[in-house]
Amino acid sequence: MIQIIPSIASADLLNIAIELERCKEIGYLHLDIEDGNFSPDITFGMDMISAIMQNTKAEVDAHLMVTNPLNYIIPLCENNVTRIAVHLEAVMYPAQCITLIHQMGRKAGLALNYKTDINQILPYMDEIDYVLLQTCEAGDNNLQFKEYSRNKIRQARHLLPEKVELWADGGITDQLLYELMKDGLDHAVMGRALFGSKSMMELYHTMMARDREDKLYEL
């Protein structure tokens, strides 16, 4: 079954406590941490992350879209983030970050920009817990899912060991979700589709019900 994860960066950040309450039943939360350098936007600093963590019981993962991810790992772990994905393009020695994340007792992922070839993760497949694929490009005005990403998801699922989870983030809609599940996606990070909905939980339960129906049909 695919897991849907709300991305809080797409919420109404002027009312973040209300937004956390809206999605609390899902039990998962995604933090896009952008520094305005590696990525053109700026999202959450550590003070804001601490405030979010103090006001949620969700299992939280962090996607580090920053130039110096090593500096963030220990503070994030101290704030009880359970999974951390580091961009392959941001570090000279990815294994250093992967090792530190594991030493802190957390799950380690590698994130890939939209244009990065999936084969770049091959040297690290035995060291990581998940791969996070960007399915649109940071800085794109529309932030729409790019169709080429479906091929990349299929390629990744073929290359990755079964134990390595496959995640995707960027412009995923409820209409796309089921096709991506068939392509082999395990976790779908969804921001605007969820937080832009008038009834988030109704949409979430509808999507999960369809996922269960598809699984039963396959059996």
Structure tokens belonging to residue 31: 């933090």
Burial state string for 110-126 with b = 16 or more CB within 10 A and e = fewer than 16: bbbbbebebeebeebee
Which two three-digit tokens encode residue 151?
């091929």
Contacts with 181 (C-beta within 8 Å, 6 or more apart), sequence order: 2, 188, 211, 214
Pairing of strands 83-87, 28-34: unpaired
The rounded distance, in Å, linking the Cα atoms of 48 and 3 is 25
Catalytic residues: 32, 169
Task: Let me know the angle formed at the C-alpha of 91 by 88 and 97, rounded to the nearest 5 degrees.
Answer: 85
Query: Please, what is the end-to-end C-alpha distance for the chain in angstroms?
Result: 13
Q: Are 170 and 147 in contact (CB under 8 A)?
A: no
